[in-house]
Amino acid sequence: MRLVLAFVLCAFVAYCSARTRWYQLEDYSFEQYEVEFAKKYAHKAERQLRKELVERRLEKIRAHNRDLTKSWKEGVNHLTDRTDKELKALRGGIPNHKPRLHPQVYSKTYDAAAPQDMDWCSKGICTAVKDQGNCGSCWSFATAEVIESYYAMKTGFLSALSEQQILDCTPNPNECGGTGGCGGGTAELAFARIQKLGGLSTEWTYPYISYAGASQNCRYDPSTTPPYANVTDYYTLPQNKFMPLMQHISTSGPIAVSVDASAWSSYETGVFDGCNQTNPDLDHAVVLTGFGVDPDHGPYWLIRNSWSSKWGDQGYIKLRRTPDEENRCGEDLTPLDGDGCKNGPPEVRVCGTCGILYDTTYPDVASPKK
């Protein structure tokens, strides 16, 4: 009897904690949203603002989901009540720098014998999906996550690494990707800084405390926050080229990429194709972990985000992948709007869905020297 009661209780808890899916939103209310995501607002005026935001977005989400021509569905999540300004603060930028190209020869055509799908995280080299909170720290999360995977592939040991160390200890005098810390940065800056410091600590010795959005001072000390993994070098694939990215993700491992994520906040499932391809605004760093083919909507890139597992498809998004990615280009007209470096070009040409081909970078890793 006790086992039966325990089973029923577990099932009830699972049911109550289950996230409302896109097909359950026709009669969904703001009051249900408050309960589902445990929202507490400071005063009546703020609650009214959030209610209006959620209700407007619900209208757009419902209209989108009724459109059978769309290849993805939208839903509510913990970000649905945030303003556009708050959502923008979650995203970091792109670098304007000379790429550090790996001395590797890339094929110009795709090998027919290459895998038709790949998911590096299914191989046990990825930590659980993380949540950057209200800090514009996507660049530090993408950096830490890629290092975690390459270190696991090289040593067989997987451990969560410190995004906070990257945030606190990476100077950004040229304001590449933002102003540093929660104000934004780039994976390239982070790789170079970790290499100079001699390593990156674990999450447990240097925990993430900028969830609320406040930057911190650097507390890295090899004696108290010992390094766990080091970056010996890092490389950037050729800009706006499809085959180098396909070759790398097919054979070598995950890779940090910069994308336009300005239209991602309501994504829930399916193959996303809703970016502005004419003038994409690259503003977010994420990890490309693989690719595949959806039986209904065709090829996709598999992206790991850092907005928690409550967002998207358990923290992931599938982006449209086409054989014509190199010609699917647009002009980023605002690379200096928190995205590029000071004194960089006023606009840059970016290619691929959501600009995914423009900036792709990965590290070489090793154990720190004792």
Distance between CA 78 and CA 308 in Å, rounded? 9
59 sits in the region (left: phi over 0; alpha: psi -120 to 50; else beta) called alpha
Residues of the chain with CATH 3.90.70.10: 90-366
Distance between CA 312 and CA 263 in Å, rounded? 12
- Per-residue pLDDT, 97: 47
Tokens of 339: 């995205």
Of 115, 104, 116, 110, which is closest to residue 364 (Cα–Cα)? 104
* HSE, side-chain direction, 13 A CA sphere, residue 283: 24
Q: Evaluate whether the domain defined by 90-366 bears CATH number 3.90.70.10.
A: yes
Q: Which residues pair with 105 in a beta bridge?
A: none
Q: Which residues pair with 257 in a beta bridge?
A: 286, 360
Contacts of 323 (CB under 8 A, 6+ apart): 242
- Per-residue pLDDT, 265: 96
Q: Evaluate whether the domain defined by 19-81 bears CATH number 1.25.40.
A: no
Distance between CA 2 and CA 352 in Å, rounded? 56
Of 256, 214, 245, which is closest to residue 93 (Cα–Cα)? 256
Tokens of 358: 């423009």
- Per-residue pLDDT, 2: 47
- Per-residue pLDDT, 343: 77
Q: How does DSSP assign 101-122, residue by residue?
A: --S----SS--TTS-S-EEGGG
- Per-residue pLDDT, 92: 60
Which sequence positions are flagged as catalytic?
A: 138, 284, 305
Rounded to the nearest 10 degrees, what angle do helices 138-155 and 187-197 cross at?
A: 60
- Per-residue pLDDT, 104: 62
- Per-residue pLDDT, 368: 86
Distance between CA 241 and CA 194 in Å, rounded? 27
Averaged over successive runs of 10 residues, the pLDDT of the chain (370 residues) comes to 42 53 94 96 95 97 96 97 90 54 59 80 97 95 98 97 98 88 92 96 97 94 96 94 94 96 97 96 95 96 97 98 94 67 85 95 89
Distance between CA 318 and CA 320 in Å, rounded? 7
Distance (Å) of CA 301 to CA 145, 155, 189: 17, 27, 25
Residues of the chain with CATH 1.10.287: 19-81
- Per-residue pLDDT, 223: 94
Type of residue found at 322? T
